[in-house]
Amino acid sequence: MKWLLLLLALTLSSNAQSPADKTSEPGDSATAKKADPKTHADAIKLVEVAGAKQALQDNFKQMVDDGAKQMMEKCPRCTPAFGEEWKKRFLERSNIQDYLDVYVRVYEKYLTDAEINEIINLQKPSKTATPSPALQEKLKAVMPSLLGDAMGGCAQIGARLGSEIGSEIEREHPEYLKPATDKDAH
């Protein structure tokens, strides 16, 4: 089904950052090791002080709208009713915490507890707050992979939910899909 592939594109646009080249599974072998409880707690604190939850909440509906629009442009069989039902269900069933948990796991994977705490301290208002040279180098080295893993993990969550919803709508409302044409097969 073509629309399943389109949902992957939707999930990439459902995130506030631009996609990076490398993505990996949130549960891959590199993250399978259990994080230190203190590092885990500090990674959660970093996500909180960085305002990630509020940013996602503030932008999520618009990002889902934008992604659904892209999906509809690429899905000639999908009627407007399909798109509206899909958006409604996606928004109702999305759990922002799932996305935030991805960021926590990624920070645990790429940063030490000391680095996480330094970044937390940089969030506090200060005229002279700048990362240490060591942290600057580390961030420069890991940022592409860190962002790639974050985007990949978030895209996975959205793709899984989006495809479940798309399948449900297709079963429950076949009238929301136009009949297939020869052109759709290409």
Q: For the beta carbon of residue 8, count every other beta carbon within 10 angstroms.
A: 15
Q: Is residue 20 a contact partner of residue 176, using CB atoms and an 8 Å limit? A: no
Burial 116-125 (b: 16+ CB within 10 A, else e): bbbbbeeeee
Nearest to 137 by CA among 115, 120, 122, 117: 115
- pLDDT digits over 59-79, tens only? 999 989 988 988 788 888 999
The pTM assigned to this predicted structure is 0.77
Rounded distance, CA 93 to CA 38, Å?
A: 31
Span 131-182, pLDDT tens digits: 999 999 999 999 999 999 999 999 899 889 988 998 999 999 999 999 887 6
